[in-house]
A and B are shown apart, each in its own frame.
Chain A
Amino acid sequence: MDRTIVATMTALLLTGAFVATGSAQQPQQPEQQEQFLPIEELPPQDQLPAAPLLVTAYAFVALALFGYVLSVARRLAVVQRELERLESDVKGSRRT
Chain B
Amino acid sequence: MPKWFMPAAATCGLMFAASPFLIANAPYESTMGLVQKIFYYHMPSAGMFLIAAVVCGVASVRYLFGGDPRQDRLAWAAAELTVLFGALALVTGPLWARKAWGVWWQWDVRLTSSLMGWMVAVAYLLLRRYGGPGSDKLAAGLALFGMANVPFIYISVNYWRTIHPTTTVVPTLPVSMGVPFWFCFAAFLLLFVLLLRLRVRLEEQRARVDALYLSLDQ
**Interface, chain A (partner B; CB < 8 A):** 2, 5-6, 9, 12-13, 16, 19-20, 22-24, 26, 28-43, 46-47, 49-51, 53-54, 56-58, 60-61, 64-65, 68-69, 72, 75-76, 79-80, 82-83, 86-87, 89-90, 93
Contact with A along B66-100 (1 / 0, CB 8 A): 00000000000000000110011011101110111
If A36-B29, A37-B29 are given as contacts, then 5 extra A-B residue pairs at C-beta distance below 8 Å, sorted by A number, are A13-B119, A28-B102, A36-B39, A64-B84, A90-B212
Could you tell me the distance in whole angstroms from the C-beta of A73 to the nearest C-beta in chain B?
8
- Per-residue interface assignment for chain B, residues 174 to 218, with 1 indicating a CB less than 8 Å from any chain A CB and 0 otherwise: 101100000000000001000100110110011011001101100
Rounded to whole Å, the gap between the CB of A1 and the closest CB of chain B is 11
Binding-face segment, B133-141, B142-150, B157-165: B157-165
Interchain residue pairs with CB less than 8 A apart (9): A2-B129, A6-B126, A35-B168, A36-B30, A37-B174, A39-B28, A60-B95, A61-B45, A64-B91
Given A51-B34, A76-B202, does the pair A24, B177 have CB atoms closer than 8 Å? no
The majority secondary structure among interface residues of chain A is helix
Bound CA–CA A87/B213 (angstroms): 10
Q: Say yes or no: A72 contacts B90, CB within 8 Å.
A: no
Task: Tell me whether A42 and B94 are in contact (CB under 8 A).
Answer: no
B18 part of interface (Cβ distance < 8 Å): no
**Which chain A residue has the least Cβ–Cβ distance from B157?**
A32
- Does B105 lie within 8 Å of A57, measured CB to CB? no
Residues on the B chain within 8 Å of A36, using CB: 29-30, 36, 39, 165, 169, 172-174, 177
Given A23-B104, A30-B101, do A69 and B195 touch, yes or no (CB 8 Å)? yes
Q: Are B104 and A20 in contact (CB under 8 A)?
A: yes
Given known A-B contacts A23-B106, A26-B102, A49-B99, A37 and B205 have beta carbons under 8 A apart? no
- Give A94's nearest chain B residue, CB to CB: B215
The interface residues of chain B, by DSSP majority, are classed as helix
The answer, yes or no, to whether B62 is at the interface (CB within 8 Å) is no
Least Cβ–Cβ distance between A30 and chain B, in angstroms: 6
Residues on A with C-beta less than 8 A from B94 are 16, 19
- Out of B91, B99, B161, B206, which one reaches A32, CB within 8 Å? B161
Minimum CB distance partner of B205 in chain A: A79
CB nearest neighbor in B for A56: B95
Closest 6 CB pairs of A and B: A38-B27, A20-B105, A46-B33, A50-B35, A23-B103, A50-B34
Of the candidates B31, B87, B213, which one forms a contact with A86 in the assembled complex, judged by CB atoms under 8 Å apart?
B213
Note all chain A residues with C-beta closer than 8 A to B168: 34-35
- A32–B215 Cα distance when bound, in Å, is 61
Collect the chain A residues with CB atoms within 8 Å of residue B198's CB. 69, 72, 76
CB distance from B11 to the nearest CB of A (A): 15
Q: Which of B99, B115, B213 contacts A50 (CB 8 A)?
A: B99
